[in-house]
Chains A and B, each alone.
Chain A
């Protein structure tokens, strides 16, 4: 396989003064061309920060270590100009809330063509407008010409998310980062947006990082899925394997707390406790205090490594000790 479009190796991100534990604690992640990689986990697990770090969008005062390569460019050390070119040409992001993500005081057409007009020098305005019209049609908006002149408040949330997707595709990116693109939308709209994203990803052969907390959605969209907890990837596997046999208790817990149409369940079993606070920095496994299979004296004192088993991996002492024992 050729070099991945996105390659994050051992990425750490700390916010001194705000968080005691690292926000990202050694994240490894790869997305190849044409591949859809899912990133799932509860809120606060570091999914969004991971995607933003891939574009070099880190919070002020953050200390970042590790290596982030996007289409061959080292994001963390690239000069501002190179980073801007990368953002306008190689990688783009679809954000969660389209109502907040598009400037309410500017027209849709302005939003779509802005990057073309200001980020790439010398881009033909008329060509950008033509591309905007084509993309609005591609994302299934009925009146592209009219929408260009409209303001965001004149469109529904679902329509705006289509605009957001069209806007992300304006620069023909090779890598598309989707940060919970359907969370702010109603259920029927969610389905349409997901199918639009999947179709465009296939047509353009883009690599896609799909962030969601909806496991079923991840299963239907992604080739591989990474599960994040407290700033670490705790398990990754192909979507099929992950759902068939979750190895990490957190993944298993997420699955058990998701309603299913196929399997009749008496009641959903939520994961006990709350996600790890930013102020807590435990010595052992970050999930230990919520884990229903915690091994006393072991999990609370020893931080597990991500261990590969074939083409999947997990970060749980349970699987490592049985392996040693067996």
Chain B
């Protein structure tokens, strides 16, 4: 195993990278909304005409006349203390608004992630081990089809078949308590994961096929190691690197896709809140959710990076020489 110093350097380098990325992202997010057309004050007044004094005090209250950098630093220091400001439309803490919806979205994402990993991996493995045969062709046709179905179409189809016609699942709402919530979120999770299942299974299939062609796989076979052991210890294990990388990016991207599915199923989650807030120019909420999305991407990728050396010991070899 690599010495502790090498591991610390590897981890330190990546954590530092995450911090810099998040800082840069926060600046970009704030700046782009600052530059966006429309004065937040117009939204705050909701079309009413205010006296110049009242307008001034409103602008004062939200700090709208401060220089850009002062506004940014003020916002950033709030974010670092867990305060994302006050929502224009709800007149409530952004943190409270998000906290109330986070549970639904997280549950939805976890369920979708499990579906994506289990179904996507299985389909990809089955396909690669039967390359060129009927099972493989079925997987290819199914994944091509699924990858082409937008999630809102999938949502409508699932609702009409499983919720309306068969009545197996509820059509609407997030449910109370964990079990009920899982029950309510089953169809949304399926709708959300279909495209991603297709992508993960394609990546798994090609990564497995590449590893199946390696000489060390033939060597293991030539030594009498049973097929299932060869597939598990040499093919799947070695294919995990690319599969994990792609899955990480996809799972982080679920947060974005969840907006559509949450709207279709009438779920009160982060995604639907984002759409609603963009619609109403509710900048503090948009900034907060966008930052959370970026944070999710960066953290999932950090996790993938930290897992990589456990899969491939050569990852750390490059680090030792640095």
CB distance from B311 to the nearest CB of A (A): 7
**A92-B222 contact, Cβ under 8 Å, with A101-B215, A101-B216, A105-B238:** yes
B314:A57 contact, CB within 8 angstroms: no
A114:B222 contact, CB within 8 angstroms: no
B222:A119 contact, CB within 8 angstroms: no
Which residues of B sit under 8 angstroms from A83, Cβ to Cβ? 224
**A88-B224 contact, Cβ under 8 Å, with A100-B214, A100-B215:** yes
**A115-B314 contact, Cβ under 8 Å, with A100-B216, A101-B215, A105-B238:** no
Which residues from 164 to 218 on chain B have a C-beta closer than 8 Å to any C-beta of chain A?
214-216, 218
**A118-B238 contact, Cβ under 8 Å, with A95-B219, A100-B216:** no
Residue B229 at the chain A interface, CB threshold 8 Å: yes
Q: Which of A87, A100, A118 has the most CB of B within 10 A?
A: A118
CB distance from B208 to the nearest CB of A (A): 15
**A103-B216 contact, Cβ under 8 Å, with A114-B233, A153-B314:** yes
Residue B237 at the chain A interface, CB threshold 8 Å: yes
Give Cα A167–Cα B223 distance, bound, in whole angstroms. 9
What number of A-B contacts does a CB cutoff of 8 Å give?
84
Which residues of B sit under 8 angstroms from A52, Cβ to Cβ? 222
Give Cα A243–Cα B214 distance, bound, in whole angstroms. 37
Residue A106 at the chain B interface, CB threshold 8 Å: yes
Q: Is the interface of B mostly helix, strand, loop or mixed?
A: helix
Residue of B nearest to A80 (CB): B227
Give Cα A167–Cα B214 distance, bound, in whole angstroms. 18
- Per-residue interface assignment for chain A, residues 58 to 102, with 1 indicating a CB less than 8 Å from any chain B CB and 0 otherwise: 000000000000000000000010011111110011010100111
Give Cα A284–Cα B50 distance, bound, in whole angstroms. 102
**A104-B314 contact, Cβ under 8 Å, with A57-B218, A97-B215:** yes
Which residues of A sit under 8 angstroms from B317, Cβ to Cβ? 153-154
Which residues of B sit under 8 angstroms from A80, Cβ to Cβ? 227
Which residues of B sit under 8 angstroms from A102, Cβ to Cβ? 216, 219
**A87-B220 contact, Cβ under 8 Å, with A103-B238, A104-B314, A105-B237:** no
**What is the number of residues of chain B that contact chain A, defined by CB distance less than 8 Å?**
23
Residue of A nearest to B223 (CB): A115
Which residues of B sit under 8 angstroms from A120, Cβ to Cβ? 224
CB distance from B195 to the nearest CB of A (A): 30
Residue of B nearest to A85 (CB): B224
- Per-residue interface assignment for chain B, residues 222 to 241, with 1 indicating a CB less than 8 Å from any chain A CB and 0 otherwise: 11111101000110011000
A84:B222 contact, CB within 8 angstroms: no
Which residues of A sit under 8 angstroms from B225, Cβ to Cβ? 84, 88, 114-115, 118-119
CB distance from A147 to the nearest CB of B (A): 14
Give Cα A221–Cα B80 distance, bound, in whole angstroms. 73
- Per-residue interface assignment for chain B, residues 310 to 322, with 1 indicating a CB less than 8 Å from any chain A CB and 0 otherwise: 0111100100000
Residue of B nearest to A57 (CB): B222
Residue B160 at the chain A interface, CB threshold 8 Å: no
Residue A299 at the chain B interface, CB threshold 8 Å: no
Give Cα A171–Cα B221 distance, bound, in whole angstroms. 14
B223:A119 contact, CB within 8 angstroms: yes
CB distance from B33 to the nearest CB of A (A): 45
CB distance from A257 to the nearest CB of B (A): 28
A105:B313 contact, CB within 8 angstroms: yes
Residue A237 at the chain B interface, CB threshold 8 Å: no
Which listed residue, B216, B218, B224, touches A171 by the CB 8 Å rule?
B224
Which residues of B sit under 8 angstroms from A85, Cβ to Cβ? 224
Give Cα A215–Cα B283 distance, bound, in whole angstroms. 78
**A115-B224 contact, Cβ under 8 Å, with A102-B219, A151-B314:** yes
Which listed residue, B218, B224, B234, touches A86 by the CB 8 Å rule?
B224
Which residues of A sit under 8 angstroms from B229, Cβ to Cβ? 118
CB distance from A47 to the nearest CB of B (A): 16
Which residues from 125 to 175 on chain A have a C-beta closer than 8 Å to any C-beta of chain B?
151, 153-154, 164, 167-168, 170-171
Which listed residue, A87, A100, A105, A153, touches B224 by the CB 8 Å rule?
A87
Give Cα A212–Cα B87 distance, bound, in whole angstroms. 77
Which residues of B sit under 8 angstroms from A151, Cβ to Cβ? 313-314
- Per-residue interface assignment for chain B, residues 47 to 90, with 1 indicating a CB less than 8 Å from any chain A CB and 0 otherwise: 00000000000000000000000000000000000000000000
B224:A93 contact, CB within 8 angstroms: no
Which residues from 213 to 236 on chain A have a C-beta closer than 8 Å to any C-beta of chain B?
none
Give Cα A73–Cα B43 distance, bound, in whole angstroms. 86
- Other than the given A102-B216, A153-B314, 7 more pairs (CB < 8 A) read A57-B221, A93-B219, A103-B216, A104-B313, A105-B238, A114-B223, A115-B223
| B residues neighboring A (CB under 8 Å) | 214-216, 218-227, 229, 233-234, 237-238, 311-314, 317
Can you list 24 contacts pairing A with B, beta carbon distance less than 8 Å? A57-B221, A87-B222, A88-B223, A88-B224, A88-B225, A89-B224, A95-B218, A95-B222, A100-B215, A101-B216, A103-B233, A103-B234, A103-B238, A104-B216, A104-B312, A104-B313, A105-B314, A106-B233, A114-B220, A119-B225, A151-B314, A153-B314, A154-B317, A170-B223
